[in-house]
C-alpha cells in the first residue's frame, strides 16, 4: 500500500471521527432523550421507618444508631417504604449498593438478594445499580431494603431508590447518563480506530508510538468514563465485570500517561523517570490485583489505598507535564520566526496539542478523585463530579482530534508533494516519458514477479541530421512526436521510456516470444520516423537479470543501425 493510500485512509478515518464528534454534540444540544415519563415516578427518599444495627468497638453488644457508613463488618441498615397506592404497569425498582449485601423483600417475601455469592467468590461485593422487576400487585405494599456491610466503612445509605414503570425507569436513566454514554462510546470508538490505524500504518508514520498511546489512552478513558458513572449498565448487567473494568482502566491510565509523556520528554533523565513511573504504576496495579486473586485483601479495600497513590502520581505527572509543555512552547516560539522549519513547526504544534490534552486529562482525573474523596458518595450522584470529569474528557478528546486531523492534512499534503517531486525526478522533462533512472529501477524489479517479458531498444536515425539541418527545436519536436507515437502504439500496461538523447526503451509484459515479435514488427516497421530497433525476450537468456535481456536487445539494435548506415543511411521496412 502506497504512502498516499495510507494518508488517505488516515484522513478519511479522522474525518469520520470528527463527523461522529459533531453529531454527538448536535444530539446533546438538541435535547434528545429528554422526554418525560408515561406514568408517575417516585424517588423513595423518605422511608416510613428505619432499623439500624451497629457493633460497638468494645464488643459489648449492639447499639442502635443512624449511621450512613458501617463501623464494622456485619452492620446493617433496613429501610421500609410504603409503595404508592397508584398502580403502575411493569413496576420496577432501581437501587444501588457497594460493599454491601442487598436483600429486598415485599411484605416479608424475598424478591432479590445480591452480594452473598459474590462475597464468597471474590471476597468483596462489587458495587453498582440494579434494576428489579416488581410484581404487578406491589402497589400499597411495604418494601424493605436491607444493606449489610461486607467491610468497615461500607455505605449503608446510598442514593434513594427509584420506583417507576420499567420502560420509564430505563428512559429516565438514559436521560440522566446520555452525555456519559455519548462521550464514553465516542472515546472508545476513537481510541479503537487510532490503535487500529497504528497497526495498519506504523511503518509509514514518524510519530507512530504517539498515535498508539494516544489511541490507548482515549480507549481507556472511554471505558473508564462509562464505568465511573455507572453507564456501562446498558452494555452489561454484571456488577462484577463493571467493577473489574473500572479498576483495571483506572490503574492502567497512569501507566499509559507515563509512557506517553516519556515520548515527549526532552532529555534522557526525564525519559528514565517517566519510564520508572510507568513501571512503578504497573507494579502497584499488579500487586493490587494479585492480592485480590490470592484473596488476601479485598479489591475494594485495596482500592481505597490505591486511590491515594493514584492522586499522588497524577500530581507528579501533571507537574512534569507542565515542565515539558513549557519547553516545547519555548522551542515553538523560536521556530515561528523561521520560514524554513515548516516540518518542525508542524511537529511542535502537534506535540503542544497532545501535551495540553494530557495535562487537562490528568488535572481532571485528580479533581475527580479529590471530589470523590470529600463527597464519599458511592452512587456518584454528584452533578459537579459529572461535569468536571466529562468536561476534561471532552476537552482531551477535542485536542486529540485537532492534533491528528491537523497532522493528517499536513501528511496528505506532504505525501502529495513528495509524489510530485518523485514524478519530476523520474520523468523526462521533454518527452514526459519515464527517464533512465526510472527505467533502471523497472529493470531491476522485472524478474521478481515471475512474468514473461520482452525488451525493445530503439534509436532514432535522423535526429542528428534534423538538428544540423533545422535546429535543435526541430530535433526536440521530433523526439516529442516519437514519444507520442510510442504511447499510442504500445499497451497502457507496457512501459515506454527515454534512456538518453535519441535512445528509447519499451518493456512489454506478459508476452510470448511470437507475440512480442509480431507486436514489435507491426509497430516499428510502420513508423513515419526512421528508427533502428532490436528486441529480446526473457526466455532467451539463462540468467535472472533483466539487464542481460536489455543488453541483447541493444546489441540487435546497433546491428540494425550499422546495416542502415551501410546502406547509405536509408532504412526500408521489410
Domains of the chain and any CATH numbers: 436-566 (3.30.70.270)
Would you say 54 and 63 are in contact if contact means Cβ atoms under 8 Å apart? yes
- Each residue of 65-78: pLDDT tens digit? 345 788 888 888 89
Residue 36 pLDDT greater than 70, yes or no: no
Show the CA angle centred on residue 193, arms to residues 350 and 249, nearest 5°: 90
What's the rounded Cα separation, in Å, for the pair 411 and 434?
26
Would you say 94 and 130 are in contact if contact means Cβ atoms under 8 Å apart? yes
Whole-number pLDDT of residue 2: 54
Whole-number pLDDT of residue 421: 57
Whole-number pLDDT of residue 475: 87
Whole-number pLDDT of residue 155: 82
- Most confident range (mean pLDDT) of 10-19, 143-152, 436-445, 486-495 is 143-152
Higher pLDDT pick, 53 / 195? 195
pLDDT band at 213 (very low <50, low <70, confident <90, very high): confident
Would you say 168 and 107 are in contact if contact means Cβ atoms under 8 Å apart? no
pLDDT band at 60 (very low <50, low <70, confident <90, very high): very low
- Each residue of 453-474: pLDDT tens digit? 999 999 988 788 888 888 888 8
Tell me the three cell numbers of residue 507.
518493456
Residue 79 CB contacts under 8 Å (≥ 6 apart), including other chains: 47, 50, 144, 145, 146, 147, 157
Residue 137 CB contacts under 8 Å (≥ 6 apart), including other chains: none
Largest CA distance in the chain: 130
pLDDT band at 104 (very low <50, low <70, confident <90, very high): very high
Would you say 533 and 524 are in contact if contact means Cβ atoms under 8 Å apart? yes
The set of catalytic residues is 502
Strands, sheet with 49-55, edge to edge from the N-terminal-most edge strand? 62-63, 49-55, 76-82, 142-149, 100-106, 109-114
Whole-number pLDDT of residue 4: 56
Quick one: which of 309, 285, 371, 300 has its CA closest to 152?
300
Residue 343 pLDDT greater than 50, yes or no: no
Whole-number pLDDT of residue 571: 37
What's the rounded Cα separation, in Å, for the pair 140 and 99?
30
What's the rounded Cα separation, in Å, for the pair 77 and 90?
28
Average pLDDT across the chain, whole number: 79
Whole-number pLDDT of residue 257: 92
Element (H, E) at 531: strand 531-537
Show the CA angle centred on residue 106, arms to residues 104 and 112, nearest 5°: 30
Q: Where are the beta strands (DSSP E) in 353-400?
A: none
Residue 375 pLDDT greater than 80, yes or no: no
Residue 114 pLDDT greater than 50, yes or no: yes
pLDDT band at 443 (very low <50, low <70, confident <90, very high): confident
Q: What are phi and psi of 281, to 5 degrees?
A: -65, -40
Tell me the three cell numbers of residue 570.
536509408
What average pLDDT score do residues 323-328 get? 84
Q: Using a pLDDT cut of 70, give the percent of the chain over it.
A: 78
Residue 154 pLDDT greater than 80, yes or no: yes
What's the rounded Cα separation, in Å, for the pair 271 and 277?
10
What's the rounded Cα separation, in Å, for the pair 358 and 325?
10
Residue 71 CB contacts under 8 Å (≥ 6 apart), including other chains: 54, 55, 57, 152
What's the rounded Cα separation, in Å, for the pair 141 and 120?
32
Residue 486 pLDDT greater than 50, yes or no: yes
Quick one: which of 443, 447, 346 has its CA closest to 402?
346
What average pLDDT score do residues 333-342 get? 56
Q: What is the CA radius of gyration of the chain?
A: 38
- Each residue of 535-549: pLDDT tens digit? 999 888 887 788 889
- Most confident range (mean pLDDT) of 99-103, 347-351, 517-521 is 99-103
What's the rounded Cα separation, in Å, for the pair 506 and 483?
11
Quick one: which of 158, 148, 144, 94 has its CA closest to 119?
148
Q: How many CA atoms lie within 13 A of 91 on its CB side?
A: 23
What's the rounded Cα separation, in Å, for the pair 389 and 361?
8
Element (H, E) at 13: helix 3-30
| Full-model pTM | 0.66
Residue 382 pLDDT greater than 50, yes or no: no
Cβ neighbour number for residue 203 with a 10 Å cutoff: 9
What average pLDDT score do residues 139-160 get? 86
Residue 384 pLDDT greater than 90, yes or no: no
Whole-number pLDDT of residue 569: 45
Residue 254 pLDDT greater than 90, yes or no: yes
Whole-number pLDDT of residue 438: 87
Lowest mean pLDDT, pick from 12-16, 142-146, 444-448, 472-476: 12-16
Whole-number pLDDT of residue 192: 84
Cβ neighbour number for residue 530 with a 10 Å cutoff: 17
What average pLDDT score do residues 5-17 get? 63
Lowest mean pLDDT, pick from 14-18, 111-115, 228-232, 489-493: 14-18
Residue 33 has what DSSP assignment?
A: T
Whole-number pLDDT of residue 505: 92
Amino acid at each position: 500500500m502506497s504512502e498516499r493510500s495510507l494518508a488517505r485512509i488516515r484522513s478519511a478515518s479522522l474525518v469520520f471521527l470528527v463527523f461522529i464528534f459533531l453529531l454527538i454534540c448536535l444530539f446533546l444540544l438538541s435535547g434528545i432523550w429528554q422526554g418525560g415519563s408515561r406514568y408517575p415516578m417516585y424517588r423513595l427518599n423518605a422511608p416510613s421507618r428505619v432499623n439500624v444495627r451497629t457493633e460497638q468497638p468494645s464488643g459489648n453488644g449492639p447499639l442502635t444508631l443512624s449511621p450512613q457508613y458501617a463501623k464494622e463488618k456485619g452492620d446493617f441498615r433496613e429501610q421500609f417504604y410504603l409503595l404508592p397506592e397508584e398502580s403502575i404497569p411493569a413496576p420496577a425498582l432501581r437501587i444501588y449498593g457497594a460493599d454491601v449485601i442487598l436483600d429486598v423483600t415485599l411484605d416479608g417475601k424475598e424478591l432479590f438478594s445480591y452480594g452473598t455469592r459474590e462475597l464468597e467468590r471474590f471476597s468483596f461485593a462489587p458495587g453498582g445499580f440494579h434494576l428489579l422487576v416488581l410484581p404487578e400487585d406491589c402497589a400499597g405494599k411495604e418494601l424493605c431494603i436491607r444493606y449489610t456491610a461486607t467491610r468497615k466503612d461500607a455505605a449503608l445509605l446510598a442514593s434513594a431508590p427509584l420506583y417507576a414503570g420499567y420502560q420509564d425507569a430505563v428512559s429516565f436513566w438514559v436521560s440522566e447518563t446520555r452525555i456519559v454514554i455519548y462521550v464514553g462510546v465516542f472515546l472508545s470508538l476513537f481510541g479503537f480506530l487510532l490503535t487500529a490505524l497504528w497497526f495498519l500504518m506504523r511503518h509509514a508514520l514518524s510519530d507512530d508510538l504517539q498515535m498508539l498511546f494516544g489511541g490507548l489512552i482515549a480507549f481507556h478513558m472511554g471505558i473508564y468514563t462509562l464505568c465511573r458513572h455507572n453507564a456501562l449498565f446498558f452494555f452489561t448487567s454484571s456488577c462484577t465485570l463493571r467493577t473489574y473494568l473500572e479498576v483495571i482502566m483506572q490503574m492502567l491510565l497512569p501507566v499509559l500517561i507515563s509512557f506517553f509523556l516519556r515520548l515527549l520528554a526532552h532529555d534522557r533523565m526525564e525519559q528514565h523517570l517517566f519510564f520508572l513511573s510507568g513501571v512503578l504504576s504497573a507494579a502497584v496495579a499488579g500487586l493490587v490485583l494479585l492480592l485480590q486473586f490470592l484473596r488476601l485483601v479485598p479489591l475494594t479495600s485495596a482500592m481505597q489505598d490505591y486511590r491515594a497513590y493514584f492522586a499522588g502520581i497524577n500530581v507528579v505527572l501533571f507537574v512534569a507535564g507542565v515542565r515539558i509543555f513549557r519547553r516545547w512552547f519555548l522551542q515553538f516560539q523560536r521556530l515561528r520566526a523561521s520560514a524554513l522549519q515548516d516540518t518542525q513547526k508542524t511537529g511542535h504544534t502537534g506535540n503542544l496539542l497532545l501535551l495540553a490534552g494530557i495535562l487537562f486529562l490528568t488535572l481532571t482525573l485528580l479533581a475527580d478523585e479529590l471530589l470523590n474523596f470529600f463527597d464519599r458518595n458511592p452512587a456518584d450522584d454528584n452533578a459537579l463530579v459529572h461535569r468536571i470529569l466529562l468536561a476534561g474528557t471532552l476537552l482531551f478528546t477535542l485536542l486529540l482530534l485537532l492534533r491528528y486531523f491537523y497532522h493528517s492534512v499536513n501528511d496528505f499534503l506532504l505525501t502529495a508533494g513528495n509524489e510530485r517531486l518523485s514524478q519530476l525526478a523520474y520523468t523526462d522533462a521533454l518527452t514526459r516519458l519515464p527517464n533512465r533512472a526510472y527505467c533502471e529501477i523497472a529493470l531491476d524489479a522485472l524478474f521478481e514477479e515471475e512474468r514473461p517479458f520482452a525488451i525493445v531498444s530503439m534509436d532514432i536515425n535522423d535526429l542528428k541530421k534534423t538538428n544540423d539541418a533545422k535546429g535543435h527545436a526541430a530535433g526536440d519536436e521530433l523526439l516529442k512526436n516519437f514519444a507520442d507515437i510510442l504511447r499510442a502504439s504500445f499497451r497502457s500496461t507496457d512501459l515506454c521510456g527515454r534512456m538518453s538523447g535519441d535512445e528509447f526503451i519499451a518493456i512489454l509484459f506478459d508476452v510470448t516470444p511470437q507475440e512480442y515479435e509480431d507486436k514489435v514488427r507491426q509497430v516499428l516497421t510502420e513508423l513515419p520516423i526512421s528508427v533502428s530497433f532490436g528486441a529480446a525476450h526473457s526466455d532467451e537468456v539463462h540468467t535472472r537479470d533483466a539487464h542481460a535481456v536489455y543488453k541483447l536487445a541493444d546489441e540487435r539494435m546497433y546491428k540494425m543501425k550499422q546495416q542502415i548506415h551501410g546502406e547509405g543511411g536509408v532504412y526500408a521496412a521489410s
